[in-house]
Chains A and B, each alone.
Chain A
Amino acid sequence: MKILVPVKRVLDANIAVRVKSDGTGVDLANQKMSMNPFDEIAVEEAIKLKEAGIASEIVAVSIGPAQAQDTLRSALAMGADSAVLVKTDAVVEPLAVAKILKAVVAQQSPDLVIMGKQAIDDDSNQTAQMLSALLGWPQATFASKVVIADGKATVTREVDGGLETLELDLPAVVSTDLRLNTPRYASLPNVMKAKKKPLEEIDAASLGVSLDATLKVVSTVKPADRKPGSMVGSVAELVEKLKTEARVI
């Protein structure tokens, strides 16, 4: 079984976000960029399936600028077998990402796509569902457990109110939630080995997908700060303030 894992290069989750004062966006210049955390979970899950003898090949794919090669090398260092960079300097919306991924699926013919539920920069939470719809493959989003057997995937999903389990015919699209696994760190020897693994580059324009934005971003601003609060010295003072000042209890 072959697994395709889309990975996005995003601002590292531990870096404080700096919103440009002119409203044009977030300052990414010279910032630490990393693989989207949910995509690390997706790569880990694919590797686990390979280690269990269920998957035979893992291909990582990223749509982005030349630097997204680093993100793909991270996936290769974790254990992916090969990588595809669909190169573009444009900001690509989830719908166009899904269309590009559909084209990559046509080239790679995977049996399963595992990807993040959400990119922590745009917080869109839509690409996996879109890809599933465009491919006509079943989807299981927000996965916290994936079992593959007899040509089917049984996936437990984190939903409002608890957990839900679905059974999907393969090929299918799965998106990862936080509890699916804990991604491994790549060892130094594996980082070295990853440099020799195949990384193919495709020009995004060659896939015939329009990269033009359809949502116009009018402005990006910092949210209003909360008004400063105060420290209280005791439980009694807290209860008193909640009753008479805040009047919430």
Chain B
Amino acid sequence: MTILVLAEHDNATLAVATAKAVAAARAMGGDIHVLVAGAGCGAVGEAAAKLDGVGKVLVADNDAYEHHLAETVSELIVHLAGGYSHIVAAATTTGKNTMPRVAALLDVMQVSDITAVVGPKTFERPVYAGAAIQTVEASAETVVVTVRASAFDAVGDGGSAPVEAVDFVAGAPKVRFVSRDAAVSAGPELANARIVVSGGRALGSEDKFNEMIKPLAEKLGAAIGASRAAVDAGYAPNDWQVGQTGKVVAPDLYIAVGISGAIQHLAGMKNSKVIVAIDKDPDAPIFAVADYGLVGDLFALVPELTEAL
């Protein structure tokens, strides 16, 4: 049994999500190979070779993979798939974009967004925005899995696996990369931050969002998140959305500010270790998952909290 893990990276740096996907793969058992597909991504291959439990790193370094287009990367993975029992990737937007294609081309179902490994082919995954947890068993010869990174602890980096080049070049796709607009945020990355401060609709404007949430996050060295309502209203960029259809986070501390706690939001944060909620409505559902609840006007409480830290 050998497992192929697709590395998540930006051609320069290996993302932590990869070390978490490798942790899930280790729980499945068997040898682990990591595939780095990109352009000018040699350093990423070296970083992947250090991940504990990895037996070999395959680097496909070619312009065809520069922008991680689902079409070319899935073609590459299918080309390599023959020797593998499992093909695994973190459920990042890249993983979610690419892996179902791999599954379809191999004529198997994908097991999406697993939160636990029960056996080599048996997994837990949330459905209905986390209102239910399914245990599913795959029977296919090749098991295609995406991993909810927040549910696994990253493996260490004391390894030294050999790195091999892969020459396969995917055919020209019928899609072209045009541009990328990176959302700039000064603090730590939302997906892996130890502390997250999130703001909701109650902030009322982008200015107020920044005025209230940013200083608190800075004081705590926290990443910033947002509810869908705050993102839809333009107070925060799309990739800050926490929830069923946004990012799933599980930091040590999650502070929800003016967020009511709809199930779709809870889906993205209710496995945080400690949850703090600040809301003026004592009956807001967010308080049902909060370890510490504070009722009152955020425009008074948040500056006071920032000051007190």
**A residues lining the B interface (CB < 8 Å):** 11, 13, 16-17, 19, 26, 38, 93-95, 98, 117-118, 120-134, 137-142, 144, 154, 157-169, 172, 177-179, 214-223, 226, 229-232, 234-236, 238-239, 241-242, 246, 248-249
Contact = CB atoms under 8 A, between A and B. Distances in A.
Interface string B272-296: 0111100000100001011111110
Interface in B104-137: 104-105, 107-113, 122, 125-137
Contacts of A163: 180-181, 183, 238
Contacts of B308: 235-236, 239
B135 A217 contact: yes
A117 B91 CA distance: 14
Contacts of A161: 180, 182-183, 239
B175 A169 contact: yes
B101 A231 contact: no
A218 to B, nearest CB: 4
Interface residues of B, number: 87
B276 A216 contact: no
Contacts of B133: 220-223
A222 B132 contact: yes
A223 B294 CA distance: 25
B232 interface: yes
Interface of B: 67, 69-71, 74, 92-94, 96-101, 103-105, 107-113, 122, 125-140, 173-183, 191, 195, 220, 228, 231-232, 237-239, 244-245, 247, 252-253, 263-264, 270, 273-276, 282, 287, 289-295, 301, 304-305, 308-309
A13 B243 CA distance: 14
Contacts of A19: 131-132
Contact of B112 (A123, A221, A238): A123
A144 B245 CA distance: 13
A145 B183 CA distance: 17
